[in-house]
Structure 1
Amino acid sequence: MKDCFICEENIIHEDNIELIRNKMIDENEIIKLSNVFKALGDPTRIKILYALSLKELCVCDIANLIRMSQSAVSHQLRILRNLRLVKYRKEGKIVFYSLNDQHVVTLFNQGIEHIKHD
């Protein structure tokens, strides 16, 4: 039985390949994007990002909300911060986190819309 998901003839469409090859993002950008998607692949980080998509929160609040230690939350936030998905600000001895910019909000909301779409 033939698999209907592969080509039955091996024909290379050089014009398509050349068009895409000329527009392909560079390897460094591919790695950065891959790392962002890896970070988004963790349920704990998804919970944190979702909470931060609704409101700026301090580390204590995030830890309480997702029922994890502040140390564990801080570790996750460090990963998200290094990928520029979240930012922080200090107010005295309290550290508040929020999503880094509108791109992160859009990326996150698009993901939610995608999984809810039939």
Structure 2
Amino acid sequence: MTGEYSVPRARAEIISSDLLDMTVTVLKTLSDPLRLQMLWALCDRDLTLSELAQLIGVSPTVAGQLLSRMRTAGVLQTEKSGRHVIYSMHDELSRQFIRQTLDFAAHRLELQGASDSTED
């Protein structure tokens, strides 16, 4: 990725405060299990508030609050379709990030399980 906010490749380079702030915002957004469930669902297809609420088993009010925080953080986008608001991931890079984050967590769990079984 090249551009004003590209990630430095050398450890000696300093990461810009804007990039650090955005990274912290995104990671804080992912720190809630319900928000992460919603983002996981949105990796496959765009969904309405009611669909997301039903999918993760919360009321539309709770889903709306969760979605509002993610939208404010810039993690997802919305589009009006008649009376409905459709929620979606911004782009393929966003979807890949969610998938890779969950893959990383699954890998950590596997390693943890492997180390637990060797201690027996």
TM-score by length of 1: 0.77
- The equivalent residue for 2:24 is 34
**Deviates further, 70-79 or 36-45:** 70-79
AA matched with 2:20: I
State the identity as a percent.
25
AA matched with 2:11: I
Shift of 1:28: 2.4
- The equivalent residue for 1:45 is 35
TM-score by length of 2: 0.75
Structure of greater Rg: 1
- The equivalent residue for 1:57 is 47
Structure 2: 5+ residue stretches without partners: 1-9, 111-120
Aligned residues: 99
Runs of 4+ in 1 over 4 A off after TM superposition: none
- The equivalent residue for 2:79 is 89
Q: Give the whole-Å Cα distance in 2 for the aligned partners of 1:107 and 1:36.
A: 11
Q: Give the whole-Å Cα distance in 1 for the aligned partners of 2:14 and 2:68.
A: 30
Question: Once the two structures are superposed, what CA deviation does each residue of 1:28-78 show, in whole Å capped at 9, x if it has no partner?
Answer: 221111111011110010110011112111101111111111121111111
SS at 1:38 equivalent = helix
Structure 1: 5+ residue stretches without partners: 1-18
Q: Give the whole-Å Cα distance in 2 for the aligned partners of 1:55 and 1:28.
A: 30
Task: Tell me, yes or no, if structure 1 residue 69 matches structure 2 residue 59.
Answer: yes
